[in-house]
Structure 1
């Protein structure tokens, strides 16, 4: 999907303030048993089709509203993914603005995860 230039500029601006990792790093953390919350930030219909095992669903449209209920500790390690890493970057930036200190956007998103041959649930 080709994204519009202003959207890409917005995402690039967010990326200047957030931490990112790739799908391989997340897979390694999962295998090591590292304690973190993995959040799928896509739309409900995308979530229902497939998701990374053990991910929690919190769509982009409600994340800022609902995150404190799920994760009240501002120091919780949070990894957010979406389809390709754009929406998750926007969400990560907002969580940092809300005071969360250990938020990471997974660059490549579920597409990168799938392309790497990593397992999915619901697929």
Structure 2
């Protein structure tokens, strides 16, 4: 029997299956991708304390439940971020499994992005 996985193992597996970009690449990617949606997967309290301008909040705990209602077109480009890139990697992996084929995780997340892009 194999050993139980740790959080870091789950994140590493998810990252191996999703496309990731660096925080410095996000602005150019959003500008070059028609219809791109920026999704903050952090907790509601984290989002309320500050988030990227134009980001929509869909927390990691509910994203799989709510995504089909908000974005029924599975080809919608979705750019996900969280505090550092781990929670959003897990969410991105699940969305890929659900058939969303243009999901991107922003590695480094809010900690890096808040110093690079406009925030609210």
TM-score, normalised to structure 1, is: 0.88
Cα distance in 2 between the residues matched to 1:19 and 1:33? 15
Mapping 1:1-123, distance limit 5 Å: 6-32=6-32, 34-116=34-116, 118-121=117-120
Q: In 2, Cα distance between the equivalents of 1:74 and 1:83?
A: 25
Instruction: Report the number of matched residues.
Output: 116
Unpaired runs of at least 5, structure 1: none
Q: Higher mean Cα deviation, 33-42 or 72-81? A: 33-42
- How far, CA to CA, are the matches of 1:96 and 1:120 in structure 2? 27
Cα drift, residue 23 of structure 1: 1.2
Q: Name structure 2 gaps, 5 residues minimum.
A: none
Q: CA deviation at 1:28?
A: 1.8
**Superposed CA RMSD:** 1.5
Aligned-residue offset at 1:7: 0.6
